[in-house]
Amino acid sequence: MGEAPADYLEFAAARSGPLLRTACLLTGDWHLAEDLVQETLHLPHGGTVSDLNASDDLIQLVYDDGRGKNMVQVDAQYDMTAFLAGHMGCAGVEGDCEATTLADGTEVKKVEGPSEKGGSAVVWLVDILYPDGRRVAVREVDSYAESAPVTRPRPALSMDELLAIARDKRYFTG
C-alpha cells in the first residue's frame, strides 16, 4: 500500500469499523495493519491490499493475488430483517443464484452474476441475514472496481472463501 502519511493511522482509525480501527491503533504501523486486514477478512496470504476504504459498517479494498486486481467489499448491517423481506431468494436475480435457509433460520444467498453498473465485470456475492436482523454482504468483482475493465479471468476468492468472510461474527463487535 505504500507509506501512509503520519496522521493517516489516526484518520483511518477514526473513520473505520471496529476491525480496521483496532488494527490501525494496535499496530501503529500501516503495513502491519494491512496484514491484519488481510487476516481479518480471510484473504489468502501472498496478495497485496490497496485502495482501502472503511467506515463503521463497510470495508472496501482492492486485493491482488498476483493475477490481477480484484475488488472486495464487506458490508455489515443491523436491523435488516424487514428491509430484506422477500429479497433473500433468487427470484428475479440475474446470473447463477443459490438461496438456502439454515436450521437456525439464517438465510444465505450466493450469486455469480453480471455487474449492476454495466460493463463486462463479474460480481460474486454472498449475502447472509441472521435471524436477529444482522446482515453481512460480501461482494467481489473481477476488476479493481465494478464499472472498470476486467483485470482477471475470474474473481480471486472462491464462493467458499466469500462465505467464510461473511460468516465471521467479529464484524459485530467493538
* Dihedral Cα 89, 57, 46, 4, nearest 10 deg: 150
Indicate the SS3 state at residue 50: strand
H-helix or E-strand containing 39? helix 30-40
Q: Phi/psi at 166 (nearest 5 deg)?
A: -65, -30
**What pLDDT is attached to residue 38?**
64
pTM for the model:
0.78
Max mean pLDDT among 55-59, 71-75, 125-129, 165-169 falls in 125-129
What is the tens place of the pLDDT at every residue in 49-100?
A: 888 776 667 788 899 999 999 999 988 888 899 989 889 999 999 999 999 9
